Amino acid sequence: MRCVGILRAFRVTAALLLACGLSPAFADPLLDDIPSSGDLSSLRTQQFLYFAGFDLWRNGSAFYGGAQWAPGGLNSDGFTMKMLLAEGSYKYLSGGTDTRGTYLLASVMPVWRIKRCDLEVKVFAGLDLQNHRLSPDDLTNTLRGNHAGLRVNADLWWEPLQTQMMLALSISGSTIGNSFGIRGGAGWRVSDRFWAGPEVETSGDEVYRQYRVGAHVTSLRTGDFEWTLGAGYVEDNSHRSGAYGRLSVLTRR
């Protein structure tokens, strides 16, 4: 109940911040802080990045938000701190029975950022807290209940053709349920306003797997906000297929 109360407070805070234009990523949490294109010199004095988003598909959903703090500036190499909060649901087959899982997740991770020319790499590692509830209860699923573990994440962003093309790769994993996520995307600059191109992704844990192929629009600017959208085809290890859609927004201060 305490976790639910904290999450509700986070929802209200995120909504107020977005409404006021102050604040608010599996960026999709896997890609929730895509770098801006163009001249980054204006970011040197900006220390905070706020993000929020949702991801929907036929048999599940995810809602998330969080922040990054870079004491040396978001455009500087070195230390950053990231906080992520998320909740969601998923459906899987257990012994031929449809089981619905719901989860709460909180993670705090120190980050190290390295940027060289057109290549940016971020490496994350830190505490991962999760709560999973199953209906009907599945005693064979080791994710049920409360867990604490280690979460790691690595993000790569590369612009090989003088800001006309981008390649992105994100890999994440947690010791809780051996969960993982891998996403890759490519994009081309459109009207000097955003990136657009294909994306592929796979994610899962000890009992669930998901595979995606689709397209994305990344870093679409409206005022102080940057939006990322994705949509395409998804299939899981229960042979359920359909469409997915996701939307995320970030801002820097």
Q: How many domains does the chain have?
A: 1
Of the candidates 145, 29, 137, 5, the one whose C-alpha atom is nearest the C-alpha of residue 83 is 29
Q: Are 85 and 106 contacting, i.e. CB atoms less than 8 angstroms apart?
A: yes
Give every CB contact of residue 3 below 8 A, 6+ residues apart in sequence.
104, 131
Residues 207 and 219: their CA atoms lie apart, in Å, by 34
**pLDDT on residue 38:** 39
Q: What is the mean pLDDT of residues 95-107?
A: 91
**H helices present in the chain, as ranges:** 2-20
* pLDDT surpasses 70 at 19: no
Range of the domain at 21: 2-252
Q: How many Cα atoms sit within 13 Å of 202 on the Cβ side?
A: 4
Q: What is the DSSP string of 58-123?
A: TTEEEEEEEEEE-TT-TTSSEEEEEEEEEEEEEEEEETTEEEEEEEEEEEEEEEEEEEETTEEEEE
Q: Is 42 helix (H, G, I), strand (E, B) or coil?
A: helix
* pLDDT surpasses 80 at 76: yes
If you search the block for the tokens 């995606």, which residue do you land on?
Answer: 212
Residue range 186-212, pLDDT digits in tens: 999 999 899 999 999 999 888 789 999
**pLDDT on residue 59:** 86
* pLDDT surpasses 90 at 226: yes
**Residue 148 to residues 21, 47, 114, 126, 151: CA-CA distances in angstroms?**
34, 29, 28, 11, 10
Of the candidates 49, 30, 38, the one whose C-alpha atom is nearest the C-alpha of residue 164 is 38
Distance linking the first and last C-alpha atoms of the chain: 33
Cut 0.85: pTM above it = no
* CATH number for 36: 2.40.160.40
Q: What is the mean pLDDT of residues 83-106?
A: 91
If you search the block for the tokens 């409404």, which residue do you land on?
Answer: 19
